Amino acid sequence: MKRVRSFHSLLEARAAAAYLLEHAIAATVITNDSDAVALRNVTSRVTQGGAHDLYIASNDDHARSLELLEAFDREPADFTPEWEADAVPDLSRLDPALLPDCPSCARTLPADPFLDACPSCSAEVDVGELIVARHGPDALADCYVDEPRQFDPEVVDRMSLVCDGCGYALKNLGVSGRCPECGTAYDKMAILRRLLGEHPH
Please give the residues from 86 up to 105 whose contact with Zn ion meets the rule CB under 5 A: 102, 104-105
Contact between 16 and 69 under an 8 Å Cβ cutoff? The reply is yes
Contact between 86 and 100 under an 8 Å Cβ cutoff? The reply is no
Stretch that binds Zn ion, among 63-71, 77-85, 148-156, 179-187 (CB under 5 A): 179-187
Q: What is the SS3 string spanning 29-83?
A: EEECHHHHHHHHCCCCCCCCCCCEEEEECCHHHHHHHHHHHHHHHHCCCCCCHHH
What is the chain's alpha carbon radius of gyration, rounded to the nearest angstrom? 19
Least separation, in Å, of the C-beta of 176 and Zn ion? 13
Contact call for residue 179 and Zn ion (CB under 5 A): yes
Contact call for residue 117 and Zn ion (CB under 5 A): no
Contact call for residue 71 and Zn ion (CB under 5 A): no
Contact call for residue 120 and Zn ion (CB under 5 A): yes
Contact call for residue 118 and Zn ion (CB under 5 A): yes
Contacts with Zn ion by CB under 5 A lie at 102, 104-105, 118, 120-121, 123, 163, 165-166, 168, 179, 181-182, 184
